[in-house]
Amino acid sequence: MKKLLLVMLVIFMVFGMVSVNYAGTPGDKLARGIANVPVGALLEIPKNIGIEWKNSKNAGIGIFCGLFKGMAMGVGRLGSGLWDILTFPVSAPKDYEPLIKPNLVFDKE
């Protein structure tokens, strides 16, 4: 069981490091989906807390707003990742484009 978990962790880490600036192939779409489902959806929360905290005059309000914005964006990224995984052989949307931008959590838009 531990060996399986270790292998899965390594696979997710490798796919998480793949920078997909465009999705031109089914493999790119699958890699983007795998990176967004386990890791990307969870990283939206601290990312948005940090953004809102810096942009807000009140740190508490920034953290509160960032938490809920991050959860909403995480759900969207989770859905987009699941879509990419389930439909990776199909060129939908056009040319294997992502459903949400940026492709990965910390990519620039």
Report yes or no on whether pTM surpasses 0.75: no
Count of CB atoms situated within 10 Å of the CB of 82: 14
Give the residue from 28, 29, 32 showing the smallest Cα distance to 105. 32
Distance, CA of 105 to CA of 34 (rounded, Å): 12
Cβ neighbors of 89 (< 8 A, separation 6 or more) are 26
pLDDT averaged over consecutive 10-residue blocks of the chain (109 residues)? Answer: 70 59 76 89 92 91 94 94 91 84 80
**H-only helix segments in the chain:** 2-17, 26-35, 41-55, 59-86
Placement of tokens 């990224």 in the chain? 77
